[in-house]
Structure 1
Amino acid sequence: MLSDAKIRGVKPRDKAFKVTDSHRLYLLVTPGGSKLWKWNYAYDGKQKTMAFGSYPVVTLLEARGKRDEGRAMLLEGKDPAIQKKLRIEANLEKARNTFELVAREWYETVKAQWARVHAEDVLRSLERDAFPFIGDLPVSELTPPKILEVLQAIEERGAIESARRLRQRISSVFVFAIAKGIAEKDPAEKLAAVLKPLRKGRQPAITDLKALKKMIGDAEQDYARPITRLALRLLALTAVRPSELRGALWEEFHDLNGEEPLWRIPASRMKGDLDRKEEIGGDHLVPLASQSIDVLRALWPLTGGGELVFPGNRHGHRPMSENAIGYLLNRAGYHGRHVPHGFRAAFSTIMNEWAERHGKKHDRKVIDLMLAHVPTGKVEGAYNRAAYLERRRELAVAWADLLTKGLPSLELLVDLPAKELMGQSRRKRLPQVPANFLFPEGEG
């Protein structure tokens, strides 16, 4: 039997020789002084030898452990040398199956079910926020703390919803890996409970572009007055508060036939205290994309004879019901999932993420300005509400292009049935607006 003291006392000779332990374990001492662990065993009638490493890198206790492990395999009818090779190959395979490799394979498998823009956003979020940090790590070795570290880095930049969406995407990658047999568990599954909560009191809002467009399409196909459908579309395009939309007057719109169409919402109609409502120069300026102009063109034959852009159904001199758009969303199946005010959260989330990819240095400030938010620390009356107007117009165009691609035409919205009575649809043919329609002079 060997001991550490005995091993240390062994001196090299002119030729290699063995110093034996028990159960055929021995040290091969070379002329150069190296001491190599070897183990002889018999398998299927053949004599074989395994190497366990060199002493003292592999201690006497560790060498005996490897020997005993091999003897246990022999009792099960397994060849220890072959099992060692299989373990090495399995470890190499684990190393090859990095998170990025598996995630890209998952993406290629599922992307066909998504719209192109959404698919690009999914991949971009992984490339920006996940691959640089965990992309080269074996998917089977990732742990909840490591993934939480990635998600918390996103939270630190204020993108709470982005962190939650990325967790869902990482979790989907692991579900895919488990199905392929290259992972045993999903370390992202339970992390939603420890991420920062969404702001309390926040009204329900769909903030995923694909889901948002589907919701708009579903709602616009439901039975409603054409004015209500068009109000929903303009609310989504401008992200103003529902009360500001309902009270819109035709006289508030300017240069609708020109190069810089604008909606000037008077300070008196904006949210805020008396000082805000009486503020000189406090009007909220909403640059209008061409898609918003098209909505107004479709509305003109319906309401252009009065002051209100969105009059009520019974009283033309009063704004439409504050519940009209909400009821439309509820009928379309989105009760508790999205409210009219939710378009502001959708615009903020989607455009801030868009700005991270395509924007300029101050786009986050510009987006807040488009929502009539005053930055923390700013004096309300001293805030420049006309700042960044050119960039606001560019962002309004970008938002409108993202939002309206694939949505029904405005002509269809005007011509759809307004009500359903006794199972029969009532269709009233409404005036159509020529594509080259110009607003009358003096009406913007």
Structure 2
Amino acid sequence: MSLTDTRIRNLKYPGRPAKFADGNGLYLYLSSSGKKFWRMAYYFERKEKVLSFGEYPVITLEKARELRLEAKRLLADGIDPGAQKKAAKEEQLSEAKDTFQNIALEWHDTRTADFTEKHRGTVLYRMEKYIFPVIGKEHIARMEAPDILAVVKPIELKGQNETARRLLQIISQVYRYAVITGRAKRNPATDLHGALRPRKVTHRAAVTESKKVAQLLRDIDVYDGYFSITCALRLAPLVFTRPTELRAAEWSEFDLEAQEWRIPAERMKMKQMHIVPLSKQAVKILKELQPFSGSGKYLFPSIRTETRPIADATMLNALRRMGYAKHEMCTHGFRSVASTLLNELGYNRDWIERQLAHGERNDVRAAYNYAEYLPERRRMMQEWADYLDKLKAS
């Protein structure tokens, strides 16, 4: 006997859960709580199964019969309606879970752990400001190259070419992570190769002619400034590390007896330990600096507090006070000076690149290359310091 709405409304709990059939496998299940649920019994591949349709009266009798008919059609096509419903539910959950924003934040948490806090913050800021408002809510597996282009092209058209290039790089890294973790089948960002204008290479300002370098060295020697800053400026051409690596140098990293500075991996751009052989001239400067800051953590403590090193702009401002304009010299320029003149002097390019701590493409090799060419580099660094002394005296 088929069910009616009147009969369903008047059903009373008989003291135990009960089933009330409507026909063709559909029945109403009356639970011990008094709630009524639509279910359908069916066979698939000789196995008895049960399909749930929802609770009465949210799912009406008429709607329950429609759902039964749909399930019967699937069975006639050889499809398990229970499996079909489960797949649809998983897809619905995926729609909400596998958005670009969710996966990008997951990538940021897990894959940028080795970045500096400053760089991690920059990446997150770029995603929140430029990427998420455009594609954050999109399902990551359903986007194509034009969707990504809609993020970066407007930024490029505003003249922010480098920002657009960085955004495309971030999106591509998120997609690589999604492919690895099974949330996307391919990386559509790779289809945008050539879509943005080529990057303009801008060389950092540096005086590289030997006569101008000689004058720079003399200017540094007579510079009348805060003692730690003058020492940092005198050391810069002798060690030619990145400005951040030099300004935040710690006494614990130095072995003056061995004439060696070992910069730990966490302070290096490429996250690999770096050895800087120290010339006699560099050791002399460090020994002069020891009575000033040797009892503290940093070689070059801030004027305001010993708990922090000098700021990024401190050495740059000193160069400006010496009369070197923005287009003439910057703190990063000491690396260009060393690279240019050492190559002109005929030193092995591999020694120079290793001493500059430029990135190693082979990750396995990079883990061990901090000591590569070390004897040759020791000799080169001492000869370089001697050469600078001769330049300065010329």
Larger RCO, structure (CA 8 Å, separation 6 or more) = 1
Q: Name the TM tier (shorter chain).
A: 0.3 to 0.5
TM-score by structure 2 length?
0.47
TM-score relative to the length of structure 1 = 0.41
